[in-house]
């Protein structure tokens, strides 16, 4: 994939507008996971090193619904960015230009025109900031056709930032239509709707597909298993069977739980059962020890691993066992190329104290990563193509 990228000549002496992904988790007004801010630093450092006149940053936080919501203000992010960058960052409550070299403007989703890709909002931002170049460095929002992502296309030159460039470099090889030797894809989480297309793709090119989380419940139910009162999207049973048929056609092994950890409710006493013994009021909250051992064996012998989404209710022990085991196994396989992203992956790594450096690439994109891997054209990437 050929895209327009940053060059020293392009930015020297210019006012640069950068779309970053600073949608970080907050608790009591404090940032609890700052990876997305850290990942923006290479682009900002490049712009500073190569003589950008001013840098205006656009970002969103949460879902304020086009209204001003103080709890979604980017002010805490500006303070954190200043610490990490070790340069002054001026926080602006609107799009008016201040005097600072680096300026972070308030949450673009406070404006109803943002999600509508309103040309008037794009014009207002350009006029007030005086931007001459647009850099998309928000891979995590590149699947959104919104003003701050695509609204400047055709008005000023648009190029990829270092993060977007890195994401494309690591993810593009998996758009292949050919079988990739040694590829295992582990997919968890809840929603079938966001995973069906990517599962269909990987059931054609991967050697193994591991399924866990509530996602696995839907597949088990589609195969006729009694899953008690477990979370399940029965409307997607037909699609689950289609995924399994594609895998069979392309000789891809699909691994579903052979045993599970169940309880009547998350606070109740849990039991391990073979998958076929689940019934009544029981709910599946995690994969069982035999499933863990089976999945680990597959991962241990994989040459490439892509992982998206937890394999159980990892936020609440003892239902964190499956996700922890899979995360640790992938981290230990230092001979494999390992790609992680989406589905609370960053939260998983933080909870279990696993360093991101253990993996080849940890994507900042959730929905964007999945849509990119299923072969969709992402609006924020399309405007960067040469």
| 219 in Cβ contact with 211 (< 8 Å) | yes
| 286 in Cβ contact with 310 (< 8 Å) | no
Phi, psi at residue 154, to the nearest 5°? Answer: 85, -10
Question: DSSP secondary-structure letter at 3?
Answer: B
| 275 in Cβ contact with 259 (< 8 Å) | yes
d(Cα 335, Cα 303) in Å, to the nearest integer?
A: 7
d(Cα 3, Cα 381) in Å, to the nearest integer?
A: 8
Enzyme catalytic residues: 36, 191, 343, 367
Closest CA to 344 of 305, 378, 314: 314
Q: Which structure tokens are listed for 25?
A: 């988790």
> Of all helices (H) and strands (E), which one includes residue 81?
helix 75-85
d(Cα 120, Cα 110) in Å, to the nearest integer?
A: 15
């Amino acid at each position: 994939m050929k895209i327009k990228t940053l060059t020293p000549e392009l930015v020297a002496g210019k006012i640069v507008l950068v779309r970053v992904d600073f949608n970080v988790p907050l608790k009591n007004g404090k940032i609890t996971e700052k990876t997305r801010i850290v990942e923006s630093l290479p682009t900002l450092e490049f712009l500073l090193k190569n003589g950008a006149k001013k840098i205006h940053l656009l970002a969103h936080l949460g879902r304020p619904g086009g209204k001003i919501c103080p709890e979604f203000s980017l002010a805490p992010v500006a303070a954190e960015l200043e610490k990490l960058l070790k340069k002054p960052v001026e926080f602006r409550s609107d799009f008016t230009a201040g005097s600072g070299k680096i300026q972070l403007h308030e949450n673009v989703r406070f404006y109803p025109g943002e999600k509508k890709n309103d040309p008037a909002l794009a014009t207002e931002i350009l006029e007030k900031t005086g931007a001459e170049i647009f850099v998309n460095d928000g891979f995590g929002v590149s699947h959104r056709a919104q003003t701050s992502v695509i609204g400047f296309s055709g008005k000023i030159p648009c190029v990829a930032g270092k993060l977007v460039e890195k994401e494309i470099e690591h993810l593009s090889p998996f758009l292949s239509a050919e079988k990739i030797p040694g590829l295992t894809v582990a997919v968890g989480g809840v929603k079938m709707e966001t995973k069906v297309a990517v599962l269909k793709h990987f059931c054609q090119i991967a050697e193994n597909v591991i399924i866990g989380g509530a996602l696995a419940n839907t597949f088990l139910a589609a195969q006729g298993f009694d899953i008690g009162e477990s979370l399940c999207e029965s409307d997607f049973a037909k699609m689950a069977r289609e995924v399994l048929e594609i895998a069979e056609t392309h000789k891809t092994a699909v691994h579903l739980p052979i045993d599970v950890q169940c309880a009547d409710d998350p606070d109740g006493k849990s039991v391990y059962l073979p998958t076929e013994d689940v019934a009544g009021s029981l709910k599946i909250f995690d994969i069982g020890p035999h499933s863990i051992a089976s999945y680990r064996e597959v991962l241990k012998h994989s040459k490439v691993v892509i992982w998206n989404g937890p394999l159980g209710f990892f936020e609440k022990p003892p239902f964190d066992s499956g996700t922890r085991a899979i995360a640790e196994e992938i981290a230990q396989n230092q001979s494999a190329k390992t790609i992680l992203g989406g589905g609370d992956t960053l939260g998983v790594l933080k909870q279990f104290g696993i360093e991101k450096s253990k993996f080849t690439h940890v994507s900042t994109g959730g929905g964007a990563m999945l849509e990119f891997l299923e072969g969709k054209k992402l609006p924020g990437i399309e405007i960067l193509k040469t």
